[in-house]
Amino acid sequence: MVWTIELTSTATRQLAKLDKAVAQRIRRFLPQRIAPLENPRILGQKLHGKLEEFWKYRIGNYRIIVRIEDDRLVVLVIQIGHRREIYR
């Protein structure tokens, strides 16, 4: 089973603003590590509270917030940012 990675317009803009090395690391992580998994929840962590429908992936000091849509086999990237700013 191969998952499709989709980015919202917000996530695309946030990715474009990042340092080139960090952005490239994130671009490689999603299709290489997440897309081929049987269950993308294996590498992520479920968020709590108001954000309990979302999952996060950790890449160094950066976080990727996603919504996993099982019916469409899509990992929808909602936000990308530094850990000190992403949860605000």
What CATH number is given to the structural domain containing 52?
Answer: 3.30.2310.20
Whether residue 76 is contained in a domain is answered as: yes
pLDDT attached to residue 24: 97
Q: Is 78 helix (H, G, I), strand (E, B) or coil?
A: strand
Contact partners, residue 53, CB within 8 Å, separation at least 6: 47, 67
- Residue 3 CA to its chain's centroid (Å): 13
pLDDT of residue 1: 73
Residue appearing with tokens 């919202």: 8
Q: Is residue 88 part of a domain?
A: no
pLDDT for the residue numbered 87 = 80
**How many structural domains does the chain have?**
1
Write out the residue range of the structural domain in which residue 54 sits.
4-82
Specify whether the CB–CB gap between 67 and 54 falls below 8 A. yes
pLDDT tens-digit profile, the chain (88 residues): 799 999 999 999 999 999 999 999 999 999 999 999 999 999 999 999 999 999 999 999 999 999 999 999 999 999 999 999 998 7
Element (H, E) at 22: helix 20-29
